[in-house]
Amino acid sequence: MATASIQDLMDLLPNYFIPDQAKGITARIGFDLEGEGGGFWTVVIENQTCRVVKEKKDPLDLTLMGEAGVVLDIFSGRLDAMRAYLMGKVKMIGNMSLAMQLTGLFKPNKDELRALGGKVD
């Protein structure tokens, strides 16, 4: 079975965004990802909206680095974000307070990821 790609996730990320959780947040979050399907994406959060661009948009408030597959596992719920960080699977540079808020800003739709062929538990 094929798995959802990191590009699939980035395309869907604005749909998973929870505007009410982002009151007062303005941020640019870089995803610098390696491995299959890797690349650089910038998630821009402002005015309770979210958009994703496939390039680096400076200045960045936070940069997350790691394998694309690990980020997919985090967003699909197969891997806890804090656990991934503590295990060294994800590295972060920048605003750590923002990093702590990040998982509360998105609610991925596991059914949608499954429809893309993702192996979601």
CB-CB contact of 59 with 90 (8 Å): no
pLDDT tens, position by position, 36-69: 999 999 999 999 999 999 999 999 999 999 999 9
Residue 1's pLDDT band, with cuts at 50, 70 and 90, is: very low
Which range has the worst mean pLDDT, 15-24, 57-66, 69-78? 69-78
**Could you tell me if residue 109 is inside a domain?**
no
Phi, psi dihedral angles at 11 (to 5 degrees): -65, -35
pTM beyond cutoff 0.75? yes
Domain of residue 58, residue span: 6-103
**Could you tell me if residue 97 is inside a domain?**
yes
**Could you tell me if residue 114 is inside a domain?**
no
* H-type alpha helices, 1-87: 6-16, 68-76, 81-86
CATH number (domain holding residue 67): 3.30.1050.10
**Could you tell me if residue 121 is inside a domain?**
no
**Could you tell me if residue 33 is inside a domain?**
yes
